[in-house]
Structure 1
Amino acid sequence: MPRRRKTPRELEESAQAQALAEAQASALAGAEGSAPSAVAPEPASTPTPAAGGAAVPAPIPVSAPAQHVASQHVEGQGHGQAHSQHLGEGSQGQGSGHSQGQRQRQGQGQGQGQGQGQGQGQGQGQGQGQGQGQGQGQGQGQGQGQGRDEPNSSGPPGRARGGMGGGERGSGRRGGRSRYNQGPSHSAPHHNAPGSFNPHPEQYRAHGGQEYHDMQHPGYTPPVYRRPSRPSQQPIPPAPRPMQQGGRGPPYPGPSYGPGGGPPVHFAALPAGYGSGVGPVVEQFGSVVIGGVGPRFNSGPTQEQAVSKYEPPPTPPPISSKQLRFPLRPDRGRIGLRCIVKANHFFVELPDKDLHQYDVTITPEVTSRGINRAVMEQLVKLYRESHLSSRLPAYDGRKSLYTAGPLPFQSKEFQISLLDEDDGTNQPRRERLFKVVIKFAARADLHHLGQFLLGRQADAPQEALQVLDIVLRELPTHRYSPVGRSFYSPNLGTRQPLGDGLESWRGFYQSIRPTQMGLSLNIDMSSTAFIEPKTVMEFIRDLLNKELTRSLSDADRMKIKKALRGVKVEVTHRGSMRRKYRISGLTHQATNELEFPVDENGTLKSVTDYFRETYGYFIRHPSLPCLQVGNSLRPNYLPMEVCKIVEGQRYSKRLNERQITALLKVTCQRPRDREADIMQTVHHNAYHQDPYAQEFGIRISNELAQVEARVLPAPRLKYHDTGREKECLPQVGQWNMMNKKMVNGGIVNYWACINFSRTVQENVAKNFCQELAQMCHTSGMQFTRDPVVPLQSYRPEHSDRALFQLCDDVHKKTKGKSLDLLIAILPDNNGPLYGDLKKQCETVLGVVSQCCLTKHVFKMSKQYLANVALKINVKVGGRNTVLVDALTRKIPLVSDIPTIIFGADVTHPHPGEDSSPSIAAVVASQDWPEVTKYAGLVCAQAHRQELIQDLYKEWRDPQKGTMTGGMIKELLISFRCATGQKPLRIIFYRDGVSEGQFYQVLLYELDAIRKACASLEPDYQPPVTFVVVQKRHHTRLFASNHNDNRSTDRSGNILPGTVVDSKICHPTEFDFYLCSHAGIQGTSRPAHYHVLWDENKFSADSLQSLTNNLCYTYARCTRSVSIVPPAYYAHLAAFRARFYMDPEASDTGSVTSGLGGANRSQFTGSTAGRTHRAAGGNAVRPLPPLKENVKRVMFYC
């Protein structure tokens, strides 16, 4: 193999390495004959400086068994045997023992090692072990670079500097147990693929990353995270020439790496399109003055300052829920004006009784909780005094029974008979017999619950909380209609019609919660949709909004079938006999065409004849289909006109827009009225008289909790210097654009308007467009006054052809240029037109668009035009406003070093859409220190899957080997290209996670973040803060005095910026409630933020202030919003992506759409638009990829 001439830098490094090796060799003299000890001495836990000055945490001590077999790979311990072949790897090792073998090495790096420890790469590791080993091998190759390895065998520590080989690593057998490879294994080859992060090959598969199900296995051994070896296939080019602050280079011309494929990407390999990065490995990034994108208002920190402030995470991420502990509350917040608010939490006195759990088995088994409860109710009525020691048990309706003391038996069998409902006939009711077995299961210890509430125990005893919750739900379950944790009744409020055969019922929500003040009962008002108890004919007339005088169309038939499937009806043609049935479908034939067999000979009779002959009933609507009831094997047919819907059935399917609007009007209450209704509910429930609460010794306060709160100050906002007002201080959560200009106005040179509304005349549309263009110009954008082509009008059903024709006309007129913006005027009831237009523009044509409804075109208010201008500006790449503190570098743990802020959300299909996939979206800030612009990615994944599957991906490419990608990697690369710097801190806001999913989501998604970072650079592990954002909770905050205008906004709600981190919050963990917005109507719902992982060590004030201040940077309005913008943007992106799906989209698997979408075929192993199989997933129809010029801007706004 010809030898490459060394560069001067390589010659210098080679000389330094040789000098160091000689010094180490002399220091190690005599160590070869030392006797091996049982366990090698553990090095100090003080972090060892890495190449750029960053601290690398020392490994956690792990004791080694006296006898085991191990092979060392880069870092390891133990003794054993290894037989392998190596091509072109530099080696280094230390320890003592015996080794035999031959190795030829070319390149730079010299070292001396004793024992069986051979390694390569850049990194640092420490281990312990003992033993002797023999190794034989041959190898040749050449290497360059430098690295450090410190595998300890049985002797004193020693170091060797060596090069990383340029050849492929050969296969080998290895087995035994070591610090990083726990448990016996025989795998070949055992190494990290290029760009991958494989800390534990036993648990991290070659394809698809970590297998989550392995974590649930009782024999699962957690992996230990370590620095992966530098890939040998892709040498790292030298860092680009540094640029001075504020310098702007050409856009990054390289390929879009990520889920689309391409070679593994390292931050060091990225050109400095907008400057150079800074990181812990200074040699890779070069010397650079930190600046940023475009004009800066302030200079950034120097490289030395940035590096000195950066510290890698001190601990590896958790591997199982048993290891996982959510961060404790660091302190209590102090910033802000202190005040007292009321919360809809009622103090619960912990009972001083022993709670016992019994397993219940009912035979024959039934799925209905109602029947199970009826059986248990009858059992308690018959045997409470004689067999249950007079105890009143609480029953969950399924398998568990709870008592406030022991029953006089361990196991007992009961025989219970139930009579069917009275169907109105004079015949005796049918009796059903059940065998009930009650068997002792466990004792619920309330002592641990008390310790948890006092902060002396980390884990919440969920079993005890569940028992208390079931006890307090027992009486309302008998009185009302239970739906989840809520209870509804027509007697709890006035029924309100919702349209299409539905009505709203009033009810209340109830749940036991552990808080800092002890147990609390959270009670809130609630409303939901029920089916009106009317005849089926009346229901269908309301549903279709027309008289049923002729046969139904196929569309009408499908609409009826979807609405009525599963609904319980009773017949009306048999006088007082009201037998009930559940609808399973709709017949294809009309009633007068439908026949069924009436005897064993197969004699057929029509339904109309049967009803006439049997009941003397003449069918009035023979052209309508029949309802099908019962199972599909033996169906029964009922004419629609003889059926009536049974009262009390909740409508669980998707509501239309009119129904949602009507339901919101019902539930919208001013804070004063909502508080009064909550208090009335508490008094009506009379918990002090509840026999179940009395039986279990539970006492509940009748007063709302008084909670200490603080009102955080609003941040100052920066606008452009050419405006009359250069800065703005919002008042009560809102401000306006008067006398202000956008801080970075976008550029729109070529725009066009297309009109799909029949009622908007051409002159009206032109006038509207001119006013909108003027508003954009006034607000600070560079916006051409006239469209590039004349306004065009089309019918909505011709939208696809119209869009293609318009883009073709623009292309010809501008000689190859593309539209910067498309303005579309839509009818008020546009149906699928909006979704179709967005899909075509963003995934086919590559055009950002702004849709305007007809009613707004006619009204043409200045406020509406100003809001639309804000949306247009960010869609074309501008910024509306920036936090002053961001520009002056005063935001703690954000402004000091490059920080990227993520937002993530998963939206699930509406109820009844069983075949639709869930949509996951992740957005990330693309500017620093402003943290205002966000790029987004979306993917479709399995139906109702909450874990985001595409955060990190590994797949096998036939030519390039193992590839890595995913959403996190894509967005990190995008940040690096946009800012010229790599993020040194990650803040991750995750929306849409319930408390029961906290452990699962954190384990999976934090692991994906770690792997994505490591796939970019071996040493790259920025500290992560993972915060869950919750809006679907029932905590409400009220002003202590509704008549005090100083403590409320115009709507009567608490002031924006009100934060609560005491009393009603978690007993020990880091969480808080923040009402960051001003109410408009109804009662404001504060957002609940719960920190699940915090390596950045936020204080309560720093995280609360950051979150509150970010809520003032939302791009679409001049108001603070209710949840942090990254999470809000992720929700918008996920909602937008649902328009991209094909109607027949698969409900399994996952595929990314967005950055890197052009290379999707390499990522998925198939072509876009076809059903394929992704790594680690099932078959799925992919989302169409976003166009390059669309995915870099905030298209979802």
Structure 2
Amino acid sequence: MERFKKLPPTTPLKARQVTLVTNHFRLNPTGRTVFRYDVAMSHTRMVKGTEKIRDLCKGDRDDAAILERNRRCLALMDAAFAAAPFASTSAAVIYDNSKTLIAAEELDMRQCACIRLEGGTIPPGFINHPRFKEGYFTIQITPTSSNHRLVINDLEAALAGDEANPDRSLRQFLEILTNQETLKKNSFMAFYGNLYSREAADQRKLREARILKSGMSKGARIIGSSSDLVAALVLDSKKATFFDDTNKNGLAGNIRELLNRAPNDAPSRVHINDFDRPDIVKYIKDLRVYCLNKPDNTFQISGLTREPLRNVFFDMGGEQLSVLEYHQRDGARLAYSHWPAVIVQSPRGRNYFPIEVLGVCEGQRVPISKQTPGQMKVVVNDCAVLPNVRFAEIHQMLNALNLASTTPNRYLQAFGVTIDVRPMKITAYRRQAPKIVYGGNIKVQYDDVKGSWFSSGPYVLPAKIPKWFVVYDGIDQRTVQQFVGVLQQAMKDKRMEVAQPKYMEMKVAGMDAFLSSIVKSLKPGERSPFVLFTDANEDSHAFLKLQEAKHQIVTQHLRTKTVRECIEPRKKLTVGNILNKLNCKNFGLNHLVAPDHEKNYLQKADVMVLGYDVSHPEPQSPQDRRLGIPPSTPSVVGFSFNGGQNPEMFIGDYQFCPPRQERVDILESRIQWMLKVFNDHRKKLPERIVVVRDGVSEGQLDMVLQHEMASIRRGAAMIKEGYKPKFLLVVATKRHQKRFFIDKSNGEVDNSMPLTVIDHTVVRPDVTEFFMQSHKAIKGTAKVPAYTVLQNELGMSLDEIQAFLMGLCFEHQIVSSPISIPEPVYQADQWASRGHSNVLAFFRVMDIEDPEDPSKKMINRYLKPVEDPLPGRPKFEYDWTRISKLLCYRGRRLEKTRANA
């Protein structure tokens, strides 16, 4: 990427300035040189006369395996230092417990190039290990191929090179250095920049065999301006849900808790029935466990047997032996022989274990896919702490790292680094809010404190709904009609033209056939009717939206509880939000936005704004990969752009891609579709294209520039010969560690206010970066999104860019307040989520017997052969292009409306 000019910060009005305190702590490195080394560790032993070498720095990637591997590496490094002291003191060496070591002095390669540990030099924890008690260990410490010598106060050198892919050597050093005390004490578990406390006082027991652990997210940054560079530690408190590894009864105790059984219930009365089984399997699949009598023997669970433990047999020396009897012979006292056995799939075949001989390995985070909405809500509430609490937690974590306590940090001393324990303060400012305009040119007043406005007047573009259906289940028609009456009056007030609906009582299972019948009755080119469906079934939403995508009929799903609430006079706000959604879904627009620098904004109709986001599935389990099972959940790319009837009307779609593919390779064709739809409504192509990419990591910025933007440009060039629009490219992200608080005069802190902007002092010095809070934090501590400007062919000033993006945050249309990120990015995320939900529902619906081949499932029809499959990889994969055509909106009846409102 070519270097480009960093835009200067804006010049705000003094009346709108505000002092903020940050979570940035200044690091003060001296002019010392440190030395970076690569670390390799291996274990060698003889197996059947053959030397077998195992790389100890590699292995399984699940949380528990990473923690155990890091623990072993640290123990071996300490043993290597004891056997061959390769530095003047142990404090002169810092180690990330994996492949990187940094020394305060140049190491003697004769001492550390190859250290062999065997016999009495092997750490105590390895002597009785089934795999490690034999053979020897080799530790190799060698200079890194680049940046071996690092001057730790040369911040300019740390910024040299590519802005989109800067060198991380100095930041890596500072991150390892500030972690070192906790890693040595084993007081925290480390996961890629996040650390979670092992202390019982820092965790809270949750229901359903889970634990909420407290910790921190941290990282080092180079910030400031080119003339005033600063190294800073950024520290935020963090919490995460873990599988319970503290139950004294091990995995069996966790299962009892999942079954909601009292401690005094006899084992013979505790059963895993067909109703409970799916939840138990979901909980234990891929969970790493250990044998209670052999703690070093760990493995991941593949599933549960259908048969009870007492009926599970295996071959032992030609004899059929029950798993129950085998473990009883080994001294196990088993009370749950009526429970199924745990299945462990290994390359050599299946193994079986009683649940009650297993314990849960420490430090396993619960993935989102294994948490119910109710569980997630509890965790979100726990994490949403007030600003003062979070600020105090940040300082507690600083002390936990021994960076602010009275006890000297020997590693900081050895490397000549100090830290300012008072967080950095900055002067930020608040922008002026855009003007909000409703139908009849009615302008409404934005409340500068509450961060919202009162919605009044008709819609700018009221929807016309000549035909609609109200379908209900689990609620009486009279109540539904009362609700519709309230809704119709509100529709009238907003100038919507809506016919009388037809009422039908029907379960969600009948919606497929019902929507199909509607489609058959439509005339060519006729607009989609609208279907409002209400029931109390939590699972019906996903099925209904799958049918919407399949049949291209606009739907709105409401819970019966919401319908009943809306009849009450005090629920006008809820009715208003529902109505806002209905208008947007049915080709309408609620309000217009007029920000500062309005001449650059959307109503000029020469600018297209594109937002896109990628939603990835969780990694496929090692067992499924070994079995050659093709991944059944794709990555989903969500898109949104202002291609609707009005220049401020954002619409969108999603598309499925091979799983875990971060780079978006479908942009070339998708930009052509967007430009075509834009041209259909504006009768011209946009001269300017603003691209807002949802958050990617710093290391992926080069990918966005070199691959994704190149695809967008190629696609645009194919639309029309000589067509060369100019681009503004901005990356927006909320997933970062930076926090900002209002510094109150009484020494306390509070949330920063809506419209707050930070564009100096704590931003990157090499790239145009700023933080902008458009919204008011309703719960917990405000998170201020970060924006990085990667390309600016439009020649806009930073003030103009901020005004443009702030305007987009007011374009949500559903609520009378700005959202936290620009609308096209927010919608793109919602489209990606909708695509993810639809594909999961599609796989559930198609998980039935194929009538043409009863040995297969219907979903198998969507498999295709893999071209040149790698050894051990699946020979078939799902045809995501074909599934996309079936479930996406492009080129179909609803492509020009906001169906996912």
How far apart in 2 are the matches of 1:390 and 1:815? 79
1:31-80 superposed Cα distances (whole Å, 9 cap, x missing partner): xxxxxxxxxxxxxxxxxxxxxxxxxxxxxxxxxxxxxxxxxxxxxxxxxx
The one-letter code matched in structure 1 to 2:189 is S
Deviation, structure 1 residue 455: 9.1
1:703-730 superposed Cα distances (whole Å, 9 cap, x missing partner): 11101101001111111128xx544334
Aligned twin of 2:857:
none
Q: Aligned with 1:713: secondary structure?
A: coil
Report the count of equivalent residues.
812
With over 3 angstroms needed to count, the CA separation of the structure-2 counterparts of 1:519 and 1:387, relative to structure 1, is closer
Aligned twin of 1:437:
140
Alpha carbons 1:335, 1:1101 under 8 Å: kept: no
Is 1:773 the equivalent of 2:488?
A: yes
- Which of 358, 362, 377 is matched with 2:78 structurally? 377
Aligned twin of 1:934:
650
With over 3 angstroms needed to count, the CA separation of the structure-2 counterparts of 1:835 and 1:675, relative to structure 1, is same
Alpha carbons 1:388, 1:408 under 8 Å: kept: no
Alignment map for 1:389-408 (pairs within 5 Å): 392-408=92-108
Deviation, structure 1 residue 817: 6.6
How far apart in 1 are the matches of 2:769 and 2:744? 26
- Which of 109, 125, 130 is matched with 1:409 structurally? 109
With over 3 angstroms needed to count, the CA separation of the structure-2 counterparts of 1:815 and 1:598, relative to structure 1, is closer
Deviation, structure 1 residue 686: 2.3
With over 3 angstroms needed to count, the CA separation of the structure-2 counterparts of 1:937 and 1:1096, relative to structure 1, is same
- Which of 1085, 1103, 1106 is matched with 2:804 structurally? 1106
- Which of 557, 560, 564 is matched with 2:280 structurally? 560
How far apart in 2 are the matches of 1:1060 and 1:802? 53
Deviation, structure 1 residue 979: 1.2
- Which of 590, 597, 621 is matched with 1:880 structurally? 590
- Which of 387, 393, 401 is matched with 1:671 structurally? 387
Aligned twin of 1:820:
529
Aligned twin of 1:451:
156
Is 1:925 the equivalent of 2:632?
A: no
Deviation, structure 1 residue 738: 4.9
The structure with the larger Rg is 1
Q: Aligned with 1:978: secondary structure?
A: helix
Tell me the TM-score normalised to structure 1 length: 0.63
Residue range with higher mean Cα deviation, 853-862 or 1175-1184: 1175-1184
Deviation, structure 1 residue 694: 1.9
Aligned twin of 2:675:
972
- Which of 644, 648, 661 is matched with 1:945 structurally? 661
- Which of 227, 251, 256 is matched with 1:536 structurally? 251
Is 1:710 the equivalent of 2:429?
A: yes
Is 1:642 the equivalent of 2:321?
A: no
Aligned twin of 1:871:
581
- Which of 475, 485, 508 is matched with 2:181 structurally? 475
Deviation, structure 1 residue 1036: 0.9
Alpha carbons 1:779, 1:869 under 8 Å: kept: no
With over 3 angstroms needed to count, the CA separation of the structure-2 counterparts of 1:542 and 1:612, relative to structure 1, is closer
- Which of 438, 460, 471 is matched with 1:754 structurally? 471
- Which of 407, 418, 432 is matched with 1:699 structurally? 418
Alignment map for 1:216-231 (pairs within 5 Å): none
- Which of 544, 557, 582 is matched with 1:837 structurally? 544
How far apart in 2 are the matches of 1:433 and 1:1072? 53
Alignment map for 1:166-181 (pairs within 5 Å): none
How far apart in 2 are the matches of 1:1145 and 1:971? 28
Alpha carbons 1:718, 1:728 under 8 Å: kept: no
How far apart in 2 are the matches of 1:453 and 1:390? 27
Aligned twin of 1:1056:
754
Aligned twin of 1:54:
none
With over 3 angstroms needed to count, the CA separation of the structure-2 counterparts of 1:420 and 1:772, relative to structure 1, is farther
How far apart in 1 are the matches of 2:699 and 2:770? 18
1:251-276 superposed Cα distances (whole Å, 9 cap, x missing partner): xxxxxxxxxxxxxxxxxxxxxxxxxx
Deviation, structure 1 residue 968: 0.6
- Which of 464, 478, 482 is matched with 2:170 structurally? 464
Deviation, structure 1 residue 1058: 0.2
- Which of 294, 297, 301 is matched with 1:584 structurally? 301
With over 3 angstroms needed to count, the CA separation of the structure-2 counterparts of 1:388 and 1:683, relative to structure 1, is closer
With over 3 angstroms needed to count, the CA separation of the structure-2 counterparts of 1:333 and 1:968, relative to structure 1, is farther
With over 3 angstroms needed to count, the CA separation of the structure-2 counterparts of 1:818 and 1:899, relative to structure 1, is closer
Aligned twin of 1:350:
29
- Which of 216, 230, 236 is matched with 1:524 structurally? 236
CA RMSD of superposed structures (Å): 3.5
Aligned twin of 1:265:
none
With over 3 angstroms needed to count, the CA separation of the structure-2 counterparts of 1:349 and 1:726, relative to structure 1, is closer
Aligned twin of 2:312:
594
How far apart in 2 are the matches of 1:652 and 1:1142? 17
1:285-335 superposed Cα distances (whole Å, 9 cap, x missing partner): xxxxxxxxxxxxxxxxxxxxxxxxxxxxxxxxxxxxxx4335522443436
1:466-511 superposed Cα distances (whole Å, 9 cap, x missing partner): 2222222222223211122111124375533333211110111111
How far apart in 2 are the matches of 1:806 and 1:1018? 42
How far apart in 2 are the matches of 1:1192 and 1:1127? 18
Deviation, structure 1 residue 1142: 5.8
Aligned twin of 1:858:
564
With over 3 angstroms needed to count, the CA separation of the structure-2 counterparts of 1:484 and 1:752, relative to structure 1, is same
Alpha carbons 1:885, 1:891 under 8 Å: kept: no
Q: Aligned with 2:490: secondary structure?
A: helix
Q: Aligned with 2:81: secondary structure?
A: helix
How far apart in 2 are the matches of 1:489 and 1:835? 37
Is 1:324 the equivalent of 2:2?
A: yes
How far apart in 2 are the matches of 1:583 and 1:761? 50
How far apart in 2 are the matches of 1:635 and 1:737? 64
Q: Aligned with 1:528: secondary structure?
A: strand
Give the gaps of 5 or more residues in structure 1. 1-322, 953-965, 1147-1167
Deviation, structure 1 residue 751: 1.3
Alignment map for 1:979-1128 (pairs within 5 Å): 979-1041=682-744, 1052-1128=750-826
Aligned twin of 1:719:
438
Deviation, structure 1 residue 898: 0.9
How far apart in 2 are the matches of 1:407 and 1:455? 27
Q: Aligned with 1:1016: secondary structure?
A: coil
Deviation, structure 1 residue 1191: 1.2
How far apart in 2 are the matches of 1:399 and 1:536? 33
Alignment map for 1:1096-1175 (pairs within 5 Å): 1096-1141=794-839, 1170=862
How far apart in 1 are the matches of 2:125 and 2:726? 63
How far apart in 1 are the matches of 2:447 and 2:350? 65
How far apart in 1 are the matches of 2:463 and 2:323? 69
How far apart in 2 are the matches of 1:1129 and 1:404? 50
1:409-430 superposed Cα distances (whole Å, 9 cap, x missing partner): 36532222435649999x9994
How far apart in 2 are the matches of 1:649 and 1:996? 26
Deviation, structure 1 residue 778: 1.5
How far apart in 1 are the matches of 2:722 and 2:867? 26
Alpha carbons 2:546, 2:841 under 8 Å: kept: no
How far apart in 2 are the matches of 1:499 and 1:507? 20
How far apart in 2 are the matches of 1:514 and 1:536? 45
Q: 1 or 2 for the larger relative contact order (CA 8 Å, sep ≥6)?
A: 2
Aligned twin of 1:1189:
893
How far apart in 1 are the matches of 2:422 and 2:208? 40
Q: Aligned with 1:527: secondary structure?
A: strand
How far apart in 1 are the matches of 2:745 and 2:754? 15
1:878-910 superposed Cα distances (whole Å, 9 cap, x missing partner): 111112459xx8333766671111111111114
1:639-672 superposed Cα distances (whole Å, 9 cap, x missing partner): 1123332444333452221111111111111112
Deviation, structure 1 residue 1018: 2.1
Structure whose residues are more often helix by fraction: 2
Q: Aligned with 1:1119: secondary structure?
A: coil
The one-letter code matched in structure 1 to 2:310 is N
How far apart in 1 are the matches of 2:453 and 2:745? 27
Sequence identity (%): 22
